A and B are shown apart, each in its own frame.
Chain A
Amino acid sequence: MRTKHIGERVPRREGGLKVSGRARYVDDWTLTGALYGVTVRSPVARGIIRQIGYPAGTPWEQFTIVTAADIPGSNSVANLEKDQPFLAVDRVQHAEQAILLLAHPNKSLLEKARRAVSLDIEHLPAVLSLESSLAQEQVVWGHNNVFKELKIEKGNVDGVLNNAPVIVEGEYWTGAQEQLYLETNGMIAVANPKEGVTVWGSMQCPYFVHKALMELFSLPMEKVRVVQMETGGAFGGKEDYPSVLAGHAALLAWKSGKPVKMVYDRGEDMAATTKRHPSRTQHRTVVDRNGKLLAMDIDFAIDGGGHMTLSPIVLSRGSIHAAGPYYCPNIRIHGRAVATNTPPHGAFRGFGAPQSLFALERHMDKVARTVGLSPVEFRRRNFIRQGESTATGQRIRESIQMEKLLHRALKETNYEKKVRLFAKQNLKAKVKKGMGVSCFFHGAGFTGSGEKRLASVVAVEATEQGKLRVLASITELGQGAVTIFTQIAADALGISGQDIEVAQADTAFVPDSGPTVASRTCMIVGKILESACIELKQTLIQNGLLKERYTSNAFRAACKKYVKQHGQLKSFAQYQQPSHIQWDDEKHEGDAYGTMAWAIYIAEVSVDLSTYEIRVDDFLALQEIGKVMNPLLAEGQIIGGVVQGIGYTLHENVIWNKGRMVNNRITDYIIPTSMDVPPVRVIFEENPYEFGPSGAKGIGELPLDGVAPAIVNAIESATGAAINRIPVTPEVLLEAMENTNE
């Protein structure tokens, strides 16, 4: 296949509309006669709803009021477990839980009414931290607070631990992180018993919303339609939550008989919707005399919040990544996702891996120090190689080149020389400098047999104008899905990118291509798209409308002719699992991922001891991601992920009070500005994956995985402070330095 588009720096197709302000988001649309909707939420983390009051002084008769009693179908959000109601019935399981909904044509009056509703909630003792949930200080979910527990075992860990002269132990913590997409969650709904339910909104996964609405209203598939509107960022934050908001807007529309628009303001979006799971990881490690890993015993726990939502899958990915890109004959990973009475935590770029990899890569530095090796040399001795197997027993089939990557990363950063120089300068300087390394991988696509179960479908059809239209439920979130699909389809068909259209993700027209998550859009769905294109081309050739070699013009003419003759030309393709993938869900054993992307990140930081301000002076992001489909977009993904990672490491601190986020304002929740980030140096190595389109692997989540440990390792090398939690604010570093100096 000639590649005229793949591998090129093709700018984002929808980019012009976005930068010129012409793109229209949910909040830019008005529907005649529409009502606005708002949510009355619980200020209490856990309790029993005694009474809902509507005090005099508000013209309640003008309002549409929806409670759980108004729900026509099932009052539980379609997910792994049916434990999350759309609207609380008699109990509140987390702060900010939705209790009732109000709609009114006047936004201002609506806000006044929202504040006027009186809630009489009897407080129950709540569990507000991961520690207290693990300790079962209260049981607030199931019989032991545990949403999901899993074990990954390889070899005989206890055998090694019992005979080990030295066990290196460590405990590591990560905080919640807010996705902070630019566009807050928003949804417009039209719903009535006759026509069914239609919603238009900001989302990642139209078919998740579709399923949720079918169950909420007890409607058949064809009576529910979900349309993704222009979406201003998501990062996982619009994976499961839009099902809740779509349900709320549709319930108000159903009861009022009018279109309803609900758009969260920033404060509500930050306080009530999902964030990254806080975590705790404990490591116990044994190393032999030559600095080779002998046993890794890892306990990984995440705080899932009030309902299960996606926590078991986040736990699974986090656990599988917990042992990183190293070979160790004996590994045990014990994972638990537990309940607390905060809003449910959810998907966020990396999906559990940034948490467990922070712990691992901090711990690798600690083990290296204990055995007297440099962090770099210790890692080098333990990299996994082709033919060796991971924690889940996945044998590495491809020729991975971690040593080569490391060699290049060290050279690009002048690592060894700088380490020596800083050690010397730091003796006197008030501003201390340090270097930190992290090595990691990220598996793309759903874990194990997940993709097989999804059995995603993509369609392509010829239009009357002779263009090629891509039909997929994959959503453009700002990551470049539309552009990548255009490149793949154009090259598969050998035509111009101008002749490719990518349809809006509307469940009335597009098949279920699975959710837009898990770095799967290009590698998994892109491959299905490629097959669908080839099939369509074959149809034209077999019908004698196209020769083996043809021009864009000839292709257009052939399409037009076929459509005229037959009415339509449409080709479907479905995911085909590569035969080498074997996975056991029960045991968490086998090929967790078709392939992984591999990376080495190096941070150079300086710490001002008069303020403990930490500055990342240089950042090298070196990764092997198969074929680089579009260097412009790929660099953007990496730079964006690194910046988000810098925020996660140094700034982003969700402050909780009784289960509620109290700094739910951009003023108080600090993310880095352009002044706070260094130039991010992005380098790609290519090692094509045979089952990805043109050899591509997943890339979207990778960069967030390795930023935090690289920076914190650098902080330790600068200051000697053995920090074991993020975010590392100056206040945290001050405390840590005092402990170090004692």
Chain B
Amino acid sequence: MHAFLPDFEVYTPRSLREALALLNQNNHKPLAGGTDLMVLLAAGNLPAGSYLNVNGLEELGGMEVGKDKVRLGALTTYTEIRRQAILCKEFPNLVAAARQTGALAIQNRGTIGGNIANASPAADSPPALLTYDAEIKLISEKGTRVVPYKDFHLGYKKTLLGTNELIHSVYVPRRFRNWHHYYRKVGARKSQAISKVIIAACALMNKDRIQDIRLSAGSVAPYTLRCFQTEEILRGEKKSQAAIQKAKTMILSEISPINDIRSTAKYRRYVTTQLLEEFLLSLP
């Protein structure tokens, strides 16, 4: 363990109210499932300081299925997501993401809120959430606010989340039932891999035309990207080689992949376009 443990403080509040009060007084970093933070700790790369253990705060858990939307508490684990029939049916991209995150032990502990707050550009669930017009409810001692998830990420590891705020819930509207869904993660192996490229998408077809579309990409930009421009040129198009070629060119102008220890920019560009094509060809 490359860390000096006495330099770390962990507060475990008994209620959300206490958690928010602590957060308001001091600059605590939230600790949920810990599946990202513990890796950093073991490597000696977790900044020393105080952490707020939000695990077990009831208000941040749970899942409610409303008429128009589904609420996922921030502490919903990947395993819980995998087990929800309604998510499997209406939001398959989210379930696919949960199923491909880490190992089963990680899926038992890792949370959707933690995945969002950690803001890794390689995270598995954000691309899925972006395809479903998710909204995020943030809470602080001063109150709550709901923001569209597409506006949440500002830059590499930069988000809208204030230092005194916690992610409370994620909402996904129930209007994608009749859409065609696509989620593909390419990693260095079949399971327990961090993504090199993720493409998540869904489209609503009107006869042979793409009436509406959502398209997002992971690991190819400083943060998870919603590819608005590519969506725009595909909206209203027929599925054709010409449209696919245009879309492939457009998505290359939206992404900005880099070389790192997991892959190369060149490979990421190639795979991004290939997955986009695979998605478009899969449409009826």
- Residues of A whose CB lies within 8 Å of any CB of B are 107-109, 111-112, 265, 267, 610-613, 651, 655, 662-663, 665, 667-668, 670, 672-673, 675-676, 729-731, 734-735
A611–B271 touching, CB < 8 Å: yes
Q: A108-B6, A265-B42, A267-B43 are in contact. Are A610 and B190 (CB under 8 A)?
A: no
CA distance A109 to B1 in the complex (A): 12
Query: Per a CB cutoff under 8 Å, which of A109, A267, A611, A651 touches B189?
Result: A651
In the assembled complex, the CB of A38 is this many whole angstroms from the nearest CB of chain B, namely 10
- Considering only CB atoms and an 8 Å cut-off, how many residues of chain B contact the other chain? 31
Residues in B neighbouring A675, C-beta threshold 8 A: 189-191
Since A675-B190, A735-B266 are in contact, a sample of 10 more A-B pairs with Cβ atoms closer than 8 Å, ordered by chain A residue number, is A107-B1, A111-B44, A267-B43, A610-B275, A612-B267, A675-B191, A676-B189, A730-B267, A731-B267, A734-B266
Asked if B241 CB lies within 8 Å of chain A CBs, one says: no
28 contacts between A and B (CB under 8 A): A107-B1, A108-B4, A108-B5, A111-B1, A111-B3, A112-B4, A112-B7, A265-B2, A267-B43, A610-B275, A610-B278, A611-B271, A611-B275, A651-B188, A651-B189, A665-B43, A670-B188, A670-B193, A673-B189, A673-B192, A675-B189, A676-B190, A729-B188, A730-B186, A730-B267, A731-B264, A731-B266, A735-B266
Asked if B261 CB lies within 8 Å of chain A CBs, one says: yes
- Residues of B whose CB lies within 8 Å of any CB of A are 1-7, 39, 42-44, 186, 188-194, 261-264, 266-267, 270-271, 274-275, 277-278
Residues in B neighbouring A267, C-beta threshold 8 A: 2, 42-44
Q: A610-B278, A663-B261 are in contact. Are A672 and B189 (CB under 8 A)?
A: yes
A667–B194 touching, CB < 8 Å: yes
CA distance A523 to B178 in the complex (A): 66
CA distance A644 to B14 in the complex (A): 48
Q: Which residue of A lies closest to B196 (CB)?
A: A730
Q: A610-B275, A655-B261 are in contact. Are A673 and B191 (CB under 8 A)?
A: yes
In the assembled complex, the CB of A729 is this many whole angstroms from the nearest CB of chain B, namely 7
CA distance A612 to B186 in the complex (A): 10
CA distance A662 to B4 in the complex (A): 22
Q: A265-B42, A611-B186 are in contact. Are A731 and B4 (CB under 8 A)?
A: no
Q: Which residue of A lies closest to B197 (CB)?
A: A611
CA distance A665 to B277 in the complex (A): 34
3 closest A-B pairs (Cβ-Cβ)? A675-B190, A610-B274, A112-B4
Residues in A neighbouring B264, C-beta threshold 8 A: 731
Q: Which residue of A lies closest to B188 (CB)?
A: A670
CA distance A672 to B266 in the complex (A): 24
Q: Which residue of A lies closest to B191 (CB)?
A: A675
CA distance A680 to B127 in the complex (A): 36
In the assembled complex, the CB of A305 is this many whole angstroms from the nearest CB of chain B, namely 21
In the assembled complex, the CB of B198 is this many whole angstroms from the nearest CB of chain A, namely 12
CA distance A312 to B186 in the complex (A): 41
CA distance A731 to B257 in the complex (A): 14
CA distance A100 to B65 in the complex (A): 61
Query: Per a CB cutoff under 8 Å, which of B4, B190, B270, B275 touches A109?
Result: B4
Residues in B neighbouring A729, C-beta threshold 8 A: 188
Residues in A neighbouring B1, C-beta threshold 8 A: 107, 111, 265
Q: Which residue of A lies closest to B277 (CB)?
A: A610
A610–B192 touching, CB < 8 Å: no
Residues in A neighbouring B5, C-beta threshold 8 A: 108
Q: Which residue of B lies closest to A647 (CB)?
A: B189
In the assembled complex, the CB of A653 is this many whole angstroms from the nearest CB of chain B, namely 9
Residues in A neighbouring B2, C-beta threshold 8 A: 111, 265, 267
Q: A673-B189, A730-B267 are in contact. Are A668 and B39 (CB under 8 A)?
A: no
Residues in A neighbouring B277, C-beta threshold 8 A: 610
Residues in A neighbouring B262, C-beta threshold 8 A: 668
CA distance A108 to B8 in the complex (A): 11
Residues in A neighbouring B3, C-beta threshold 8 A: 108, 111
CA distance A706 to B89 in the complex (A): 46
Residues in A neighbouring B278, C-beta threshold 8 A: 610
Residues in B neighbouring A662, C-beta threshold 8 A: 261
Q: Which residue of A lies closest to B263 (CB)?
A: A731
In the assembled complex, the CB of A127 is this many whole angstroms from the nearest CB of chain B, namely 23
Residues in B neighbouring A731, C-beta threshold 8 A: 263-264, 266-267
CA distance A107 to B1 in the complex (A): 9
In the assembled complex, the CB of A606 is this many whole angstroms from the nearest CB of chain B, namely 13
Residues in A neighbouring B267, C-beta threshold 8 A: 612, 730-731, 734
Instruction: Identify the interface centre among B3, B266, B270: most chain A CB within 10 Å of its CB.
Output: B270
Residues in B neighbouring A735, C-beta threshold 8 A: 266
Instruction: Identify the interface centre among A613, A672, A735: most chain B CB within 10 Å of its CB.
Output: A613
Q: Which residue of A lies closest to B273 (CB)?
A: A610
CA distance A79 to B96 in the complex (A): 53
A734–B270 touching, CB < 8 Å: yes
In the assembled complex, the CB of A37 is this many whole angstroms from the nearest CB of chain B, namely 15
CA distance A734 to B267 in the complex (A): 7
Residues in B neighbouring A734, C-beta threshold 8 A: 266-267, 270
B6–A611 touching, CB < 8 Å: no
Q: Which residue of B lies closest to A107 (CB)?
A: B1
In the assembled complex, the CB of B265 is this many whole angstroms from the nearest CB of chain A, namely 10
Residues in A neighbouring B274, C-beta threshold 8 A: 610-611
